[in-house]
């Protein structure tokens, strides 16, 4: 790398360093650059100012080189030096035309290109953690299907429908009833309630089949098996707790409660 290239690299790095720290929390800009708004804390505005500054510096350098080459041509009596001066003049003019024509062409195509409007999205830039895109609900054999009868009442029916829609389920009307198909993996208090009811129904059927007494968490009888020695005491306990009895011949009594 030549000495000139090293100087250009160092100058470019020096100009771009503020871009890294300009958004740092609590950073205070003591000195700005030409064309930069006062008190700027935006990466977008800094890069726009840097772009305008680069065009101005390039044009200024071309003009300075043109002046120096002209002075060299006038003051020199040696033919070789005059030829070198002519070459410097041609190079300066070509460089100046390139800078001016580049800005002119961009302005002709779209004036916003000179303002770097494509950098508008950098205003207020901040780091954002990657987030997975929302998943489309999948309905498989693992989906939970819940049927809702019209007899549950308007308030409960509305609660079921809103919960189904909120969990991205499919709510549809059937003959004298409704149905919600929850997507696979959906979490809902209603699903928990239904699953608890289904589990309790299975436990009740198992208690009748095995002729075993079954009680709830409050120690109230749910199933009073006919063939157990405590059948009569279990029924009396059901009555004492204001339970509703449903006798099943040969099997026992099912106790339900208002709550």
Span 97-139, pLDDT tens digits: 887 787 778 778 766 666 655 555 544 444 444 455 555 666 6
Q: Say if 89 falls within a structural domain.
A: yes
Residue 10 lies in a domain: yes
Q: What is the pLDDT of residue 23?
A: 47
CA distance 185 to 209: 33
* pLDDT of res. 126: 44
pLDDT at residue 4 in the model: 60
Distance (Å, rounded) from C-alpha 183 to C-alpha 138?
5
Count up the domains in the chain and report the number: 1
Which pLDDT value is given to residue 127? 41
At 154 the pLDDT is 86
Q: What's the token pair of residue 84? A: 């070198």
Task: Give the predicted TM-score (pTM) of the model.
Answer: 0.40
Domain membership flag for residue 78 = yes
The verdict on residue 169 lying in a domain is: no
Residue 141 in domain: no
pLDDT of amino acid 144: 81
Please indicate, yes or no, if residue 73 is contained in any of the structural domains.
yes
251 and 226 in contact (C-beta within 8 Å)? yes
In a domain? residue 67: yes
Distance CA 114, CA 252 (A): 90
User: What pLDDT does residue 253 have?
Assistant: 92
Residue 103 included in any domain: yes
**pLDDT score at 195:** 86
What region, left, alpha or beta, does residue 144 occupy, with left being phi > 0 and alpha being psi -120 to 50 degrees? beta
pLDDT value of residue 128: 46
- pLDDT < 70 stretches in the chain: 1-47, 110-142
Domain residues for 93? 3-122
């Amino acid at each position: 790398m030549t000495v000139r290239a090293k100087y250009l690299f160092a100058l470019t790095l020096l100009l771009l360093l503020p871009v890294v720290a300009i958004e740092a929390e609590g950073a205070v800009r003591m000195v700005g650059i030409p064309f930069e708004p006062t008190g700027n804390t935006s990466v977008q505005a800094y890069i726009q100012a840097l772009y305008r500054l680069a065009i101005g510096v390039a044009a200024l350098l071309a003009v300075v080189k043109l002046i120096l080459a002209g002075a060299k041509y006038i003051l020199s009596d040696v033919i070789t030096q005059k030829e070198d001066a002519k070459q410097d003049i041609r190079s300066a003019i070509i460089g100046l035309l390139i800078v001016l024509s580049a800005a002119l062409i961009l302005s002709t195509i779209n004036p916003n290109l000179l303002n770097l409007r494509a950098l508008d999205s950098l205003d207020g830039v901040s780091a954002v953690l990657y987030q997975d895109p929302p998943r489309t609900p999948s309905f498989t054999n693992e989906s939970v299907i819940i049927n809702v009868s019209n007899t549950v009442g308007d308030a409960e029916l509305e609660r079921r429908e809103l919960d189904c829609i909120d969990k991205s389920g499919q709510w549809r009307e059937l003959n004298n009833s409704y149905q919600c198909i929850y997507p696979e993996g959906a979490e809902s208090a209603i699903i928990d309630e239904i699953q608890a009811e289904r589990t309790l129904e299975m436990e009740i059927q198992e208690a009748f089949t095995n002729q075993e007494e079954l009680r709830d968490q409050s120690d109230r009888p749910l199933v009073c098996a006919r063939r157990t020695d405590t059948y009569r005491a279990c029924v009396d306990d059901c009555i004492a707790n204001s339970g509703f009895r449903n006798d099943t011949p040969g099997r026992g009594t099912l106790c339900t409660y208002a709550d």
